[in-house]
Chains A and B, each alone.
Chain A
Amino acid sequence: MSDKPGYRRPQAGTQPDYLHPAYQSTNLRSPSKPLVFLPHSLSEITGPTIGAERIAEHDNDLTAQHDGEPQGERIIIHGRVLDENGLPVPGILVEIWQANAAGRYNHKRDLHDAPLDPNFTGTGRTVTDADGWYQFQTIKPGAYPWGNHHNAWRPAHIHFSLFGPSVLTRLVTQMYFPGDPLLAYDPIYNCVPDTSAKERLIASFDLEKTVPHYALGYRWDIVLRGRDATPMEK
């Protein structure tokens, strides 16, 4: 049996190095020894397939998970998950989590002096449709301070986690909002040198998705790693 194709290696400058001193938590948590090159075997071109059967009715509507409505600016985020070959990635799990409108996470370790919202947990999940589309309804998260350096603030963001078809397409990242002045100062947003890679983490305002008198729309597309066209070797 000939080997099946592996996945493309990252384009230079588009994925972060583990050590990024401006983000201080990387200093003691990044490997200091060389990584060992991994040929892509059956163990990596396979992966968990978690589908729609595990998704419940309000899992993709973070404004409908409690008795009342959460505080904040109601938004709809939608987009398409594609692979590097431009093909839609259907039927894959997309998980999100976020702070509330005041910039506070519903988490015991978040000590930021901002109010919790009894009507907001900040947990969402969905599965992409047959054409790779996903959609969430939520509220716009607030910016929040963190201890990385003096007067450090994270720009408003939503955490995203995606599986995709294999172990190698696993992606955890963060989505940002257009025009946020905090982006320029954020060491996490700026952890890669490639400007276009950074800008692709920013959603765009979507007037067509905006619902009159109800919610602002945003569009954010996500790209997962794609397969090599041919096996590396017969």
Chain B
Amino acid sequence: MTLNATTSHTVGPYYHIGLTWLNREDLANAGTLGERVAITGQVVDGNGDVVNDAMLEVWQANAAGKYDHPEDDQDKALDPNFEGFGRVPVDGEGRFRFSTIKPGSVPGLKGTTQAPHLVVLVFARGLVKHLLTRIYFDGEAANGDDPLLACVPAERRRTLVAKADAAGVYQWNVVLQGTDEETVFFDY
């Protein structure tokens, strides 16, 4: 039997009623292994106006590069203090901020290795289907060999790479639409 997946519809403006119970400011806890990172940014639309009713979902591996999921059969340790998931709301100015640990490298397809990254889903009123993108970390040597970054036009790769500011906080924005800075979104 072959069925077709149910059609996606927007979360609309009132998703908070159903979804904010899984919001997380910090995906890690005091016992989580790994290098702490804070990531902040803003969601904007095609006019550069802030999007104050968006929501992000973040999924990532632990510091060893292992996903807390049965499909990950790598011989690496799970971290009992890390699930790797969180919902991240935006405020009235479309800003978000969350803390986590930097994930380890995970395998890619065909024997490749992926640079440390977070998978990010973007939901909002006006997004009939959620967007999928990634956050990589500026300065990671492995970025140069990442098989997915290699699929992205070179001039657009920077939209996927968070840069640390003077205080060490990674900056990464979600530009839903735009001439130059539009974030790279993936056909998943």
Contact = CB atoms under 8 A, between A and B. Distances in A.
B126 A167 contact: no
Contacts of B45: 28-29
B163 to A, nearest CB: 20
B113 to A, nearest CB: 11
Interface size class of B (residues with CB under 8 A): 35 or more
Main secondary structure of the interface of B (DSSP, over half): loop
Contacts of A203: none
A107 B59 contact: no
B119 A84 contact: no
A44 interface: yes
Given A43-B117, A122-B17, A188 B128 contact: yes
A172 interface: yes
Contact of B114 (A41, A47, A123, A168): A41
Contacts, number: 241
Given A16-B7, A107-B14, A48 B83 contact: yes
Interface stretch (B34-42, B165-173, B175-183): B175-183
Interface stretch (A63-71, A127-135, A210-218, A221-229): A221-229
A185 interface: no
A14 interface: yes
A77 B10 CA distance: 21
A188 B182 contact: no
B4 A84 contact: yes
Nearest to B52: A109
A45 B59 CA distance: 11
A203 B70 CA distance: 33
Nearest to B54: A29
Contact of A41 (B11, B47, B107, B130): B107
A173 interface: yes
A64 to B, nearest CB: 17
Nearest to A43: B119
Contacts of B88: none
A168 B1 contact: no
A230 interface: no
Given A30-B177, A84-B2, A48 B59 contact: yes
Interface in B77-109: 83-85, 106-109
B187 A37 contact: yes
B22 interface: yes
Interface in A2-51: 3-4, 10-11, 14-18, 20, 23, 25-33, 35-50
A96 to B, nearest CB: 6
B140 interface: no
Contacts of B22: 50
B7 A97 contact: no
A197 B7 contact: yes
A102 interface: no
A101 interface: no
B51 A97 contact: no
B128 A23 contact: yes
11 contacts: A23-B128, A29-B176, A31-B177, A37-B187, A41-B148, A84-B3, A95-B19, A123-B17, A123-B21, A124-B18, A172-B9
Given A15-B129, A188-B128, 5 more contacts: A16-B129, A25-B126, A26-B126, A41-B107, A48-B83
Shortest Cβ-Cβ A-B pairs, 3 listed = A97-B18, A25-B126, A86-B1
